[in-house]
Structure 1
Amino acid sequence: MSHPDTLKPSTAMTTSRYAWTVVALLFPVALLNYLDRQMIASMKVSVMRDIPSVGSEANWGHMLAQFKWVYAVFSVVGGYIADRFSKRYAICASLFVWSAITWWTGHVQTFEELIWARSLMGISEAFYIPAALALIADYHGSLTRSKAVSIHQMGIYCGVIVGGFSGYIADSPTLGWRLAFDITGIVGLLYALPLLILLKDKPAVPAAVPAPATSSGELGKLGKALGALFSNGSYILLVLYFTLPAIAAWVVRDWMPAILQKEFNISQGHAGVSAALYWQAAALVAAVGAGVLADRLMRRTQRGRIYVSAMGMMLIVPALFSVGNAPGQHSFGLAIFGLILFGIGWGFFDCNNMPILSQIVGPQQRATGYGFMNFVSMTAGGMADWIFGIMRDRGVGLNIIFSTFAGICVLSTVLVLLIRPRDTERDGGAAL
């Protein structure tokens, strides 16, 4: 097989075009992946009213946490399977299964069934993000990787925005929250087949020195892959950097509709849209700009993506103070300002995580590496959801909670600046 640097111009151009086709194919999958998550948050009041056995805020937080804990464990497995076998099949199977479970969620009748549905949803969705981002990184090199990932992440933001409007559907007596899950599940099932046909894994470049044969099973190989990652100090820093801000982000994503509704006495639909639209729209716009900026800075310094990500993290700090203090100031406008600023910072942060990972981990370990990052992040996010529900039951002030989140993000900024990028691939998998 020819090395990518020696490909004929026509072949290189075809590869370049398909690199962007991959991003286009995965955009709607990313949208669906997060649409379901935001719908459950935006329709909380209707779901709890229709399923009385949910009972308390703590139980609702436990349900949200259950999804994250299951998702966390299977992110590592999903990432390893994508690296070891096929990113394409991991993506398509994940979409098909989670779409079927989304449809089933609209038919649950008890809290126990809801817990099971969210647990199975966590398993199926865990296989998508590590495989998708690693596949994009395979096709895009250092000059386009941040921009390509940012466009994919725009699909996530669009999914959250659309999910925010689901509160209006839940409020409608002729529609309801169950119909929203039915439609979303059917759309995903219908898209899975054409995606399977059109999506392709990037052919692997033969290694210069073949890897020695090993008789260890898949569990042993997974252990070796994780061992190699854990011996990389920059990777450990990235795991911490990826995790700490996500604690605040999951609370914002999962609880903000309910917070706005209660604190400012607005409707479920208005609260759902306000909680999702402003910060996700800001993140959407910021991610594109941050992706372009990071790719350009990479021409000057290998730390370009790190600097852009750190800039975003510093914007998140005042954003969290604003959101936490808005109810005490009786200022809905301050809350929205904080959410917009949070979205801008999150866009800078979110589009550069896989590209930074690609600077410290080789192509054969990226999905596994991102899967473990998801494992730690989602585990912490699940704990945050559960504990936040308990703290709200006990009357702990939002200003105290969100000020703590802000302090954690200051620490995160220090961590990312300590990461040392290196050349992890000679061909770069560049899209021209």
Structure 2
Amino acid sequence: MRNEAIVAGSAREGRLALLVLILVSVFNYLDRTIISILQVPIKRDLALSDGQLGLLTGLAFALFYSTLGVPVARLADRFSRKNVIAASLCLWSAMTALSGFSTGFATLVFFRIGVALGEAGSIPASHSVIADYYPPNRRATALSVWGLALPIGVMLGYLSGGWLAQAIDWRAALWIIGGIGVLLTPIVLMLLKEPPRGRFETAKVVQAPPWKDGLRIMARQKSLLLLFAGGALNNFVLSMALNWNAPFYARAHDMALGDIATALALMSGIGGGIGIFLGGWLTDRIGATSLRMRPMLSGVAMVAVMPAAILQFTASSLSVSLVAGGIAVMLMFFYYSPIIAMTQSLVPASIRAYTSSILLLSVNIVGLGLGPWLTGILSDMLGGGADGLRYAMASLSVLGLVAGGCFLLAAKWYGEETLR
């Protein structure tokens, strides 16, 4: 009876922790996405070019978000992950609110870098906490449920940003959303419990090794390196779409900001939610019979992104474009939970947060950093306007094919390299 009570209590704590981490992650992606829908009024008020918008939503954010995630993750591997998560939430929410006081490109970039500093610590620590609440055979499903925060956050970011900007202005949207996140911080500290580190490991959990030794462990895994590369390229296409879809539909289909917000919220919320959940659910079930199928499933989804995305950006019909865009988003989000679960299974518990930070570094420097920025530069080179942006986005969607190839190749070594 006592053992059953312990198991039941642990399960309740796991569900509560997952719920809290979902809430934190929703605000992570909400604060990150809101600037994308606000590009339309910000471009007008601050007189920015497409290249500047791409730098603002891409490289300026991703460079600090990705690089600072590594040292913060090292702290999470050594100290309280709960405190790291709560402090991160408070910082990025405050900087989001302060972004509403921006007077030009330089000040807006400064505050967005502040948002990046805050968000850098949340995701790796959350991965590590979830891995210690859920065993390996349930981990991808748990991460897929947690991963639903991404499409929910993106959906709320589009809706709140678009409609608040249309009803009041873009500055008020940033003040309101950032302020709510700050108020959430003490609730997170109160509800989130720190689980025993490495509770499901068969090997004895040791102290986190020096950072160079951690990198050597990762570098020995061929499948891990290919997952990093494929994830980075897939996120390139995904970040391009999430950051430039709003300006695309405003220019190419002459949609009002509120209508764009609703359309993109449904596209990302429904399409992204289905993709994330199916990715985790199918990977756990089909991957249980064959470990090789885990990376292969995501690889096939990535290959299918290219035709759907090209149709989205070249179709003259708005309805066809929106449906194709929803399918493309679903396929791009499919990898999200599996790549986290697979990378966590390839390394020991002592470097899990560190591994997540390296994953985020590679994925976000290449994807979030270069995707929006290079799309803006290419759009300017092609003349800007509706056609310049259309052809820039369609041509760069081809990278989804390369991303899928990396995951399919990773299947060759993944099974034998997985830590059992």
Identity of aligned residues (%): 24
17, 21, 25: which one aligns with 2:16: 21
TM-score by length of 2: 0.90
Asked if 1:332 corresponds to 2:318, the answer is: yes
Shift of 1:210: 8.1
Shift of 1:192: 0.8
SS at match of 1:109: coil
181, 185, 196: which one aligns with 1:203: 196
CA contact (8 A) 1:314 1:413 kept: no
Partner of 2:289: 300
Partner of 1:40: 35
Partner of 1:257: 246
Label 1:208 to 1:271 Cα distance change in 2 as closer, same or farther (>3 A).
Answer: closer
- 1:332 and 1:245 map into 2 onto residues whose CA distance is 25
Asked if 1:351 corresponds to 2:344, the answer is: no
1:377-424 CA-partner distances (Å, limit 9, x unpaired): 211121222221111112152465245334333433433433413586
- 2:204 and 2:21 map into 1 onto residues whose CA distance is 33
Asked if 1:404 corresponds to 2:390, the answer is: no
Shift of 1:347: 3.5
Label 1:109 to 1:360 Cα distance change in 2 as closer, same or farther (>3 A).
Answer: same
CA contact (8 A) 2:56 2:109 kept: yes
- 1:104 and 1:70 map into 2 onto residues whose CA distance is 18
Residues 372-387 of structure 1 aligned to structure 2 (within 5 Å): 372-381=358-367, 382-387=369-374
Farther off after superposition, 303-312 or 42-51: 303-312
- 2:120 and 2:54 map into 1 onto residues whose CA distance is 20
Shift of 1:51: 2.5
Partner of 1:111: 105
Shift of 1:357: 0.9
CA contact (8 A) 2:92 2:115 kept: yes
Shift of 1:205: 5.3
- 1:293 and 1:177 map into 2 onto residues whose CA distance is 40
Asked if 1:184 corresponds to 2:177, the answer is: yes
- 1:46 and 1:151 map into 2 onto residues whose CA distance is 34
Partner of 1:245: 234
Label 1:50 to 1:300 Cα distance change in 2 as closer, same or farther (>3 A).
Answer: same
Shift of 1:97: 0.7
Label 1:387 to 1:134 Cα distance change in 2 as closer, same or farther (>3 A).
Answer: same
Label 1:273 to 1:422 Cα distance change in 2 as closer, same or farther (>3 A).
Answer: farther
Letter paired with 1:193: P
Letter paired with 1:22: A
TM-score by length of 1: 0.87
Label 1:295 to 1:61 Cα distance change in 2 as closer, same or farther (>3 A).
Answer: same
CA contact (8 A) 1:321 1:406 kept: no
SS at match of 1:420: helix
Partner of 2:67: 73
Letter paired with 2:268: W
CA contact (8 A) 2:54 2:375 kept: yes
Asked if 1:223 corresponds to 2:212, the answer is: yes
Partner of 1:388: 375
Give the aligned CA root-mean-square deviation in angstroms: 2.3
Label 1:106 to 1:93 Cα distance change in 2 as closer, same or farther (>3 A).
Answer: same
- 1:221 and 1:360 map into 2 onto residues whose CA distance is 18
Unaligned runs of 5+ in 2: 383-387
CA contact (8 A) 2:154 2:268 kept: no
303, 306, 327: which one aligns with 1:341: 327
CA contact (8 A) 2:83 2:189 kept: yes
CA contact (8 A) 2:50 2:376 kept: yes
Label 1:262 to 1:143 Cα distance change in 2 as closer, same or farther (>3 A).
Answer: same
361, 365, 376: which one aligns with 2:347: 361
More helix by share: 2
Farther off after superposition, 392-401 or 199-208: 199-208
Farther off after superposition, 202-211 or 152-161: 202-211
CA contact (8 A) 1:75 1:371 kept: yes
Partner of 2:143: 149
Asked if 1:236 corresponds to 2:235, the answer is: no
SS at match of 2:61: helix
Unaligned runs of 5+ in 1: 1-6, 213-217, 427-432
CA contact (8 A) 2:279 2:336 kept: no
Shift of 1:195: 0.7
